A and B are shown apart, each in its own frame.
Chain A
Amino acid sequence: MSYLPKPKFRHPDLPKNALGYTRRDYEGSVSTLCAGCGHDSISAAIIQACYELDIEPHRLAKLSGIGCSSKTPTYFLGQSHGFNSVHGRMPSVLTGANLANRDLIYLGVSGDGDSASIGLGQFAHSIRRGVNMVYIVENNGVYGLTKGQFSATADAGSKSKWGADNNDSPIDMVGLALQLGATYVARSFSGDKHQLVPLIKGAIRHSGAAFIDCISPCVAFNNHAGSTKSFDYVREHNEAVNALDYMPVRSEITTDYAPGAVEEVTQHDGSVLKLRKLAPDYDPHDRIAALTYLQKKNAEGEIATGLLYIDPEPKDLHAHLNTIETPLNHLGDADLVPGAAALEKFNAARR
Chain B
Amino acid sequence: MPKPLERVNDFVIKFANVNGSGSASANTLFGKIILRMGVPATPRNIFPSNIQGLPTWYEIRVSEAGWLGSRGGVDLMVPMNPQTWDADMASVEPGGYVLYDSTKPLPPSKFRDDVTVLGVPLTEMCNAAYTDPRQRQLFKNIMYVGALSALLDMEVEVVEKLIAEQYWGKDKLIKPNIAAMHMGRDYALKHLPCPIGLRLRRSDKVGDRIMIDGNAAAALGAVYGGATVCAWYPITPSSSLAEAFASHCKRFRTDPTTTKRRYAIVQAEDELASIGMVIGAAWNGARAFTSTSGPGVSLMQEFIGLAYFAEIPAVIFDVQRGGPSTGMPTRTQQADILSAAYASHGDTKHVLLLPEDPKECFDFGAQAFDLADRLQTPIFVMLDLEIGMNERLSAPFKWDDSRRMDRGKVITAEDLESGKPFGRYLDVDGDGIPFRTYPGTHPTRGAFFTRGTTKDAYARYTEEGPAYIENMTRLMRKFDTAKTLVPQPIRRDAAQPTKLGAIYYGSTSAAMDEALDRLAGEGVQLNTLRLRAFPFPQEVNAFCAAHDRVFVVEQNRDGQIRTLLMSECGIDPAKLVPVLHYDGTPITAKFVADAIGEEAAVVPFRKAVS
Which A residues fall within an 8 A CB radius of B? 56-59, 61, 63, 73-74, 78-86, 89, 91-101, 103-104, 121-122, 124-125, 129, 317-318, 321-325, 328-329, 331-333, 335-340, 342-344, 346-347, 350-351
Q: Are B276 and A89 in contact (CB under 8 A)?
A: yes
Is B409 in the interface zone, CB < 8 Å from A? no
B273 and A100 contact, CB distance less than 8 A = no
Contact A322 B440 (CB under 8 A): no
Residues of A within 8 A of B195 (CB): none
How many angstroms between the C-alpha atoms of A339 and B220 in the bound complex? 11
Task: Identify the interface centre among A73, A83, A86, A94: most chain B CB within 10 Å of its CB.
Answer: A83
> Which of B112-120, B226-234, B517-525 makes up part of the contact surface?
B226-234
User: Using Cβ atoms and an 8 Å threshold, which residues of chain B touch A343?
Assistant: 224, 397-399
In the bound complex, residues from chain A placing their C-beta under 8 Å from that of B452 are: 84-86
Closest to B228 in A: A328
Q: Which residues of A contact B496 (CB under 8 A)?
A: none
- Within 8 Å CB of A338, what residues of B? 223-224, 252
Query: Which residues of chain A have C-beta atoms less than 8 A from B400's C-beta?
Result: 340
Q: Looking at the complex, which of B14-22, B103-111, B255-263, B543-551 is the stretch in contact with chain A?
A: B255-263
A279 to B590, CA, bound (A): 81
> B449 contacts A74, CB within 8 Å?
yes
User: Which residues of chain A are within 8 angstroms of B211 by Cβ–Cβ distance?
Assistant: 350-351
Question: What is the bound-complex CA distance between A59 and B440, given in angstroms?
Answer: 5
> How many residues in B have their beta carbons less than 8 Å from beta carbons of A?
71
Determine, out of B153-161, B179-187, B283-291, the stretch whose residues face the partner at the interface: B283-291
Listed from nearest, the 6 A-B pairs whose CB atoms lie closest are A96-B280, A92-B276, A100-B286, A96-B277, A81-B439, A329-B285
In the complex, the answer to whether A331 meets B228 with C-beta atoms within 8 Å is yes
B440 contacts A92, C-beta separation under 8 Å: no
Whether the Cβ atoms of B450 and A347 lie closer than 8 Å is no
Also in contact, A321 and B264, with CB within 8 A (given A84-B453, A86-B303)? yes
State the Cβ distance, A292 to closest chain B Cβ, in Å: 28
Q: Can you identify 11 A-B contacts, CB atoms within 8 angstroms?
A: A58-B441, A81-B450, A92-B280, A96-B278, A100-B288, A101-B438, A104-B284, A321-B264, A336-B228, A337-B226, A339-B401
Q: Per a CB cutoff under 8 Å, which of B252, B264, B277 touches A342? A: B252
How many Å lie between the Cα of A329 and that of B285 in the bound state? 5
Give the residue name and chain of the B residue nearest to A328 (CB).
Answer: B228
Q: Which chain B residues (267-303) contact chain A, with CB distance < 8 Å?
A: 268-270, 272-286, 288, 302-303
Interface membership of B426, Cβ < 8 A: no
Interface presence of B326 (CB below 8 A): no
B306 part of interface (Cβ distance < 8 Å) = yes
Indicate if the CB atoms of B450 and A82 lie closer than 8 Å.
yes
CA distance A95 to B279 in the complex (A): 10
**Given contact pairs A58-B447, A85-B306, A337-B224, A323 touches B453 in the complex (Cβ within 8 A):** no
B444 at the A interface (CB under 8 A): yes
Given contacts A328-B263, A347-B396, contact A95 B443 (CB under 8 A): no
The answer to whether residues A101 and B397 also contact, given A81-B450, A92-B277 and a CB cut-off of 8 A, is no
Q: Is the CB of A73 within 8 A of B401?
A: no
Taking A63-B280, A337-B399 as given, write out 19 further A-B residue pairs in contact, using a Cβ cutoff of 8 Å, ordered by the A residue number: A56-B443, A57-B444, A73-B449, A80-B447, A81-B440, A85-B276, A86-B302, A86-B303, A92-B276, A93-B277, A95-B273, A99-B264, A324-B255, A329-B228, A337-B405, A339-B401, A342-B252, A346-B397, A347-B210
A93, B280: Cβ atoms under 8 Å?
Answer: yes
> In the complex, what distance in Å separates the CA atom of A59 from the CA atom of B447?
11
Which chain A positions have C-beta within 8 A of B253?
336
Residues of A within 8 A of B270 (CB): 121
Query: Quick one: given A81-B450, A324-B255, A338-B223, are A99 and B276 in contact (CB under 8 Å)?
Result: no
Q: For residue A125, which residues in chain B have a CB less than 8 angstroms away from its CB?
A: 268-269, 273
Query: Would B262 and A89 count as touching, CB distance under 8 A?
Result: no
Q: Contact string, B125-167, partner A, CB cutoff 8 A, digits 1/0?
A: 0000000000000000000000000000000000000000000
Q: In the docked arrangement, what's the CA distance between A77 and B394, Å?
A: 53
Q: When the two chains form their complex, are residues A323 and B261 in contact, meaning their CB atoms are under 8 A apart?
A: yes
A172 to B285, CA, bound (A): 35
Please give the distance in Å from A170's CB to the nearest CB on chain B: 23
CB atoms of B276 and A336 under 8 A apart: no
Contacts of B206 in A (CB 8 A): 351
The number of inter-chain residue pairs (CB within 8 angstroms) is: 225
Q: Flag if A322 contacts B443 (CB, 8 Å).
A: no
Q: Do the beta carbons of B280 and A100 come within 8 Å of each other? A: yes
How close is A250's CB to chain B, nearest CB, in angstroms? 24
A residues in contact with B269, CB < 8 Å? 121-122, 124-125
Does any Cβ of A come within 8 Å of B342's Cβ? no
Could you tell me the distance between the alpha carbons of A62 and B303 in the complex, rounded to whole angstroms?
A: 18
Do A96 and B276 form a contact, CB below 8 Å, given A61-B439, A336-B253? yes
Asked if A93 and B276 make an inter-chain contact with CB atoms under 8 angstroms apart, the answer reads yes
Residue B448 lies at the interface, judged by CB distance under 8 Å to chain A: yes
CB nearest neighbor in A for B443: A58
What is the bound-complex CA distance between A124 and B268, given in angstroms?
12
Is B226 a contact of A104 with CB atoms below 8 Å?
no
CB contacts (< 8 Å) of A56 on chain B: these are: 443
Q: A101 and B285 in contact (CB under 8 A), knowing A58-B440, A73-B449, A125-B273?
A: yes
Q: Which of A80, A81, A318, A331 has the most CB of B within 10 A?
A: A81
Let me know if B286 and A328 touch, CB within 8 A. yes
Residues of B within 8 A of A78 (CB): 447
Kindly identify which residue among A73, A96, A336, A347 contacts B262, using a CB–CB cutoff of 8 Å: A336
A97 touching B284, Cβ below 8 Å: yes
Is there contact, CB below 8 Å, between A323 and B260?
A: yes
Note all chain B residues with C-beta closer than 8 A to A335.
262
1/0 contact string of B402-431 vs chain A (CB within 8 Å): 001100000000000000000000000000
Q: Do the beta carbons of B229 and A99 come within 8 Å of each other?
A: yes
Are B449 and A84 within 8 A (Cβ)?
Answer: yes
Complex formed: what's the CA distance from A240 to B2 in Å? 91
Task: Name which of B209, B226, B439 has the most chain A CB atoms within 10 A of its CB.
Answer: B439
Q: Hey, which chain A residues are within 8 Å of B261, CB to CB? A: 321-324
In the complex, chain B residues whose CB is within 8 Å of the CB of A324: 255, 258, 260-262
Q: How far is the CA of A56 from the CA of B396 in the complex (A)?
A: 49
A residues less than 8 Å from B302 (CB atoms): 86, 89
With the chains together, A332 CA to B406 CA distance in Å?
11
Given the complex, which residues of A lie within 8 Å of B447, measured CB to CB?
57-58, 78-82
Cα distance A54–B387 in the bound complex, in angstroms? 54
- The reply to whether A129 and B397 contact each other, CB–CB distance below 8 Å, is no
Q: Which of A321, A329, A333, A340 interacts with B265 by CB under 8 Å?
A: A321
Write out the residue numbers on chain B whose beta carbons fall within 8 Å of the beta carbon of A98: 280
Task: Determine whether the beta carbon of B266 is less than 8 Å from that of A58.
Answer: no
Chain A minimum-CB-distance residue to B220 = A346
Q: Which residue of B lies closest to A125 (CB)?
A: B269
Residue of A nearest to B314 (CB): A96
Contacts of B273 in A (CB 8 A): 89, 91-92, 95, 121-122, 125
**Does any Cβ of A come within 8 Å of B510's Cβ?**
no
Interface residues in B192-213 by Cβ distance below 8 A to A read 206, 208-212
Q: Is the CB of B223 within 8 A of A333?
A: no
Contacts of A124 in B (CB 8 A): 269
Please measure, in the bound complex, the distance between the C-alpha atom of A321 and the C-alpha atom of B400, giving whole angstroms.
31
B272, A92: Cβ atoms closer than 8 Å: yes
Give the distance in Å from the alpha carbon of A85 to the alpha carbon of B252 in the complex: 33
**B439 proximity list for chain A (CB < 8 A):** 58, 61, 80-81, 97, 101, 104
CB-based contact B284/A100 at 8 Å: yes
**Interface assignment of B477: CB less than 8 Å from any CB of chain A:** no
* Nearest CB in chain B: distance from A351 CB, A: 6
B492 at the interface (CB under 8 A from A): no
Q: Which residues of A contact B224 (CB under 8 A)?
A: 337-338, 343
Q: Does B451 belong to the interface (CB within 8 Å)?
A: yes
B 297-329 contacts with A by CB, 8 A: 302-303, 306
Do B283 and A93 touch (CB < 8 A)?
yes
Cβ of A336: which chain B residues have Cβ within 8 Å of it?
223, 226, 228, 253, 262, 405
Instruction: Point out the residues of chain B lying under 8 angstroms from A80, CB to CB.
Output: 439, 447
Complex Cα distance A81/B451, Å?
11
Cα–Cα distance between A124 and B274 once the two chains are bound (Å): 15
